[in-house]
Amino acid sequence: MASSTEENYLKSLYNLANVQGEVNLSELAASLQVSLPTANSMVKSLQKSGWVIYEKYKPLTLTKEGKKTAALIIRKHRLTEMFLVKVMNFGWEEVHEVAEQIEHIHAPKFFERMDQMLGFPTVDPHGSPIPDPQGKITPLSYTPLAHAKPGQHVQLAALTNSSTEFLEFLNSRKLSLGTQLTILSKESYDQSMVVSYAHHPSETLSEKVCERLLVRVLD
């Protein structure tokens, strides 16, 4: 059984895994806000437990078991976030910190019951996919708003970043998942976009924001 600490390491490794599925020790240490030697020693111990493949000076890879364990923690995290938003009426900007703790609760039935009460959701409040009970995850293929063309109609489907500040920015603009946008224009100088949506006839979004908004193209 993984400790909370180990679970957080596995989760970071899973989330950091890029195309190669490889992660540098430095990235891992930075993401968990621990020193390099701390990450180094934990990685060795995760290897002993069979969750990580590690060779001196080489990048890290999760084993099959490690990936599954990580995915199941992410499942608990995202189900919790959905539960907090849908059942307990939290805002999407308030749920991450609580979920960061509740994901470590060992009580299968607790999460099964959440899942059931929520009607077996497939995405969390930020549009990220919820791994299934076997740890399988269906990656969603949305487009960054930044890639959309003027004149297109799109619907906000997910975010590539769910920091509290970003979520509060979206709240301030009344942007939420499902919001339908029309792209009015794109400024070629700074890649900012002018969009319109319900009660907002013209809103300018910076490139940074447009990169972080994932949309479903409607036409």
Residues that bind Mn ion (CB under 5 A): 8, 96, 100
Pick from its own copies, DNA, Mn ion, none: which does 84 bind, CB < 5 to 8 A by kind?
Answer: its own copies
Our CB check for DNA shows the closer of 39 and 209 to be 39
Which residues, 6 or more positions from 29, have their beta carbon under 8 angstroms from its beta carbon? 35, 36, 38, 39
Pick from DNA, its own copies, Mn ion, none: which does 96 bind, CB < 5 to 8 A by kind?
Answer: Mn ion
User: Residues 12, 28: contact at Cβ < 8 Å?
Assistant: yes
What is the signed CA dihedral for 102, 108, 113, 115, rounded to 10 degrees? 70
What type of residue is 107? A
Question: Cα–Cα distance between 192 and 78 in angstroms, integer?
Answer: 31
Binding span for DNA by CB under 7 A among 4-12, 130-138, 149-157, 158-166 = 4-12
For 112, 149, 177, the CA distances from 119, given in Å and listed in that order, are 11, 35, 18
Pick from its own copies, Mn ion, DNA, none: which does 113 bind, CB < 5 to 8 A by kind?
Answer: its own copies
Tokens of residue 1, six digits: 């059984």
* Residue 103 Cβ vs DNA, minimum distance, rounded to whole Å: 15
Beta pairing partners, 155: 180, 216
User: Residues 171, 165: contact at Cβ < 8 Å?
Assistant: no
Binding span for its own copies by CB under 8 A among 24-32, 46-54, 62-70, 86-94 = 86-94
Our CB check for DNA shows the closer of 6 and 207 to be 6
Q: Does 184 bind DNA (CB under 7 A)?
A: no
x/- map, 26-65, DNA, by CB under 7 A: x------xxxxxx-xxxx-x----------xxxx------
What burial letters (b/e) apply to 84-119, b meaning 16+ CB within 10 Å? Answer: bbeeeebebbbbbebbeebbeeeeeeebeebbeeee
Q: Does 84 bind its own copies (CB under 8 A)?
A: yes
How big is the site for DNA, counted in residues (CB under 7 A)?
22
Pick from its own copies, DNA, Mn ion, none: which does 3 bind, CB < 5 to 8 A by kind?
Answer: DNA
Q: Does 106 bind its own copies (CB under 8 A)?
A: yes
Residues that bind DNA (CB under 7 A): 3-6, 24-26, 33-38, 40-43, 45, 56-59
